[in-house]
Amino acid sequence: MPSQKTLTLLPGDGIGHEVMAEAKKILFWLNAQGDTNITIHEDVIGGTAYDQHGEPLTDATLAVCRQSDAILLGAVGGTQWQNVAYDKRPEAGLLKLRKELGLYANLRPAIVFDELIDASTLKPEIVKGLDILIVRELTGGVYFGTPRGIEDLGGGERRGINTQVYTTSEIKRVGRVAFELARKRKGKVTSCEKANVMESGKLWREDISALHHAEFNDVTLEHMYADNCAMQLLRNPSQFDVIVTDNLFGDILSDEAAMLTGSLGMLPSASLGAPGTPGLYEPVHGSAPDIAGQNKANPMATLLSLAMCFRFSLEMPSIADHLEQAVKNILAAGIRTGDIMAPGCTLVSTSGMGDAVIAELSKQYMKAA
């Protein structure tokens, strides 16, 4: 009997409901095969939570999340909440969840599937076989540092202030995540900062080097200035395996790397905290109000996030492998939602894609039996 795990599903808003329905279908299917024993809780976040409770994330929902092994989230947001106060907006619920759980490492894979190579704006020979993992520090740096604010200097002059600040423990804990992940991949970490012009970058470089020397000598470490990394991602992205960087540079570099793949509906993410903290798994895309409720959304980013959840939080890497293989096989078979449609392929709906994943998983399970 597989060990019992608890997963909280937070569909959120817009297409979040539709993509989550497909994840749920797969989770029920896996439980029915007897391969998993997952207790599923479902709760509300974002605009949907605001409509029901007047808060985008209630303390009760947060408590349910804390008691879970992991959380799978759809997406939050929508124009109907644009006039709500900032602290009650859908996005505030997501920020509260990340902050309260202390999720300091954000993992964003950028993988180019051969079948979707034409979706990239780069030449196929540049992005073929691309498989990069960006580890972004998520709870520190300039987005949180103080002092911050806008000062009135008088005479029509103002001054905007933000502070970039990192401590050794903040740098080392995210560095450790990156090195450990690299050990399970191609064994290379590229650490990015601006040590040439920023003291926090100098400290980042020194602390990552010290950690490498003390604990991860088997992994190759390379330091790179963040601006050079931005250029190298476009020039020769295949040189990278794991990139670790701070909150600000990570925000930009992870979006750049994601766009190398060209397909928003295929991009998963994970946010991890201290050992024992539930991980948060979510697609990179938003609630897509333009297609919400039409059964058109691509659920793959959510299903690949679920695969990451099986790998990093639920300790079932073989299920993660099965799910990722199912996605690859479906792409190879030319089955597509509208966002990744190509000539000669078969167009399916959101639920049609979920059904195709289950059909593929069934084939893999039959083969293994």
Q: Residue numbers of the site for ligand NAD (CB under 6 A)? A: 15, 75-78, 91, 94, 264-265, 282, 285-291, 297-298, 301, 339
Nearer to ligand NAD, 48 or 200 (CB): 48
Q: How far is the CB of 42 from ligand NAD (least distance, A)?
A: 17
Supply 21's token pair: 């329905």
- The Cα–Cα gap between 83 and 89 comes to 8
Please indicate whether residue 152 is annotated as part of the active site.
no
Q: How far is the CB of 119 from ligand NAD (least distance, A)?
A: 12
Nearer to ligand NAD, 200 or 298 (CB): 298
Please indicate whether residue 194 is annotated as part of the active site.
yes
Q: How far is the CB of 178 from ligand NAD (least distance, A)?
A: 22
Nearer to ligand NAD, 125 or 290 (CB): 290
Nearer to ligand NAD, 20 or 219 (CB): 20
Helix H or strand E segment including 99: helix 90-100
Nearer to ligand NAD, 76 or 229 (CB): 76
Please indicate whether residue 131 is annotated as part of the active site.
no
Residue pair 365/33 in contact by the 8 Å Cβ criterion:
yes
Max CA pair span of the chain:
78
Residues 6+ apart with CB under 8 A from 337: 265, 296, 297, 298, 299, 300, 347, 348, 349, 350, 353
Q: How far is the CB of 285 from ligand NAD (least distance, A)?
A: 3
Full DSSP string of 269-289: EEEE-STTSPEEEEESS---T
Q: How far is the CB of 314 from ligand NAD (least distance, A)?
A: 21
User: How is residue 56 annotated by DSSP?
Assistant: S
Instruction: Return phi, psi of residue 5, to 5°.
Output: -130, 155
Please indicate whether residue 99 is annotated as part of the active site.
no
Supply 98's token pair: 């990340």
- The Cα–Cα gap between 311 and 319 comes to 8
User: Among residues 59, 184, 227, 363, which one is catalytic?
Assistant: 227
**CA end-to-end span of the chain, whole Å?**
17
Residue pair 305/279 in contact by the 8 Å Cβ criterion:
no
Q: Could you give the residue ranges of the DSSP H alpha helices within 163-296?
A: 168-183, 199-215, 226-235, 247-261
Of 67, 62, 39, the C-alpha closest to 278 is 67
Q: How far is the CB of 259 from ligand NAD (least distance, A)?
A: 12
Residues in a beta bridge with 107: 135, 270
Residue 290: alpha-carbon gap to chain centroid = 22
Residues 6+ apart with CB under 8 A from 112: 120, 127, 128, 129, 130, 131, 260, 261
User: Among residues 143, 225, 321, 365, which one is catalytic?
Assistant: 143
User: Among residues 251, 321, 339, 355, which one is catalytic?
Assistant: 251
User: Among residues 255, 321, 339, 355, which one is catalytic?
Assistant: 255
Tell me whether strands 105-111 and 131-137 are parallel, antiparallel or unpaired.
antiparallel
Please indicate whether residue 255 is annotated as part of the active site.
yes
User: Among residues 69, 194, 207, 246, which one is catalytic?
Assistant: 194
User: How is residue 278 annotated by DSSP?
Assistant: P
3-class SS of residue 225: strand
Q: How far is the CB of 286 from ligand NAD (least distance, A)?
A: 2
Nearer to ligand NAD, 291 or 306 (CB): 291
Q: How far is the CB of 297 from ligand NAD (least distance, A)?
A: 4
Nearer to ligand NAD, 16 or 140 (CB): 16
Token pair 């180019």 is at which residue?
112
Nearer to ligand NAD, 90 or 175 (CB): 90
Active site residue ranges:
143, 194, 227, 251, 255
